[in-house]
Chain A
Amino acid sequence: SYELTQPSSVSVSPGQTARITCSGDVLAKKYARWFQQKPGQAPVLVIYKDSERPSGIPERFSGSSSGTTVTLTISGAQVEDEADYYCYSAADNNRVFGGGTKLTVL
């Protein structure tokens, strides 16, 4: 099995750029997804295939990949972006979420 490592928390002021990283050996050869989860709600997919954005997700959400690290970037973070964010990747029978990052926007 493998692991994906995320920072436990990230804090920015409204309008600033938030960057959340996710590291793991599997990311060098497999795509990552990013999910946003607000308290009491189900997760929502915000990025897939490292950098693709599903329809309905604001353009301020973007993703990138370099080697064994993927990064979720929220450009001009808004108060409503405050949430937990999880990366995920899958390699055959090994599928894992990162530990999650709490994004605070205040």
Chain B
Amino acid sequence: EVQLVESGGGLVQPGGSLRLSCAASGFTFSSYEMNWVRQAPGKGLEWVSYISSSGSTIYYADSVKGRFTISRDNAKNSLYLQMNSLRAEDTAVYYCASFDIWGQGTMVTVSS
């Protein structure tokens, strides 16, 4: 079964850090460009970050640039998002997605 499963979300204080993981299965992960997309409660989708299939090309939304780092390990079929200096406005469900395949999301709450 083609699947993406996110993990690592939770409650964190402002200024704190979290590392999200996304485990891929059922398809050739190393051939796919990947993204992190987030959705704040009651709001629309927001693209966060992109990484090419090899990991050589990376892009970030202005809202997270300098604070978030995307990476992947094709040998482990895994995608990551290191999130530092978290703010209340980063509170959202975070999805990993190749766009034709989406995970179910992991909730990140930034609050004191």
Show the binding face of A for B, using Cβ within 8 Å. Answer: 1, 33, 35, 37, 42-45, 48, 54, 84, 86, 88, 90, 92-93, 95-100
CB-based contact B102/A97 at 8 Å: no
CB-based contact B105/A42 at 8 Å: yes
CB-based contact A42/B103 at 8 Å: yes
- Across-interface contacts of B47 in A (CB, < 8 A): 88, 95-97
- Across-interface contacts of A92 in B (CB, < 8 A): 59
Task: Find the B residue at minimum CB distance from A44.
Answer: B102
- Across-interface contacts of A54 in B (CB, < 8 A): 100
Say what secondary structure dominates the interface of chain B.
Answer: strand
Return the 4 tightest CB-CB contacts between A and B, nearest first: A100-B44, A42-B102, A93-B59, A97-B45
B80 at the interface (CB under 8 A from A): no
In the complex, which residues 94-112 of chain B have their Cβ closer than 8 Å to any Cβ of chain A?
95, 97, 99-100, 102-105
Alpha-carbon gap, A98 to B44, bound state (A): 8
Alpha-carbon gap, A90 to B44, bound state (A): 17
Min CB gap A70→B, angstroms: 16
- Across-interface contacts of A45 in B (CB, < 8 A): 99-100
B46 at the interface (CB under 8 A from A): yes
CB-based contact B45/A43 at 8 Å: yes
Alpha-carbon gap, A99 to B44, bound state (A): 6
CB-based contact A33/B105 at 8 Å: no
Alpha-carbon gap, A33 to B35, bound state (A): 14
CB-based contact B44/A97 at 8 Å: yes
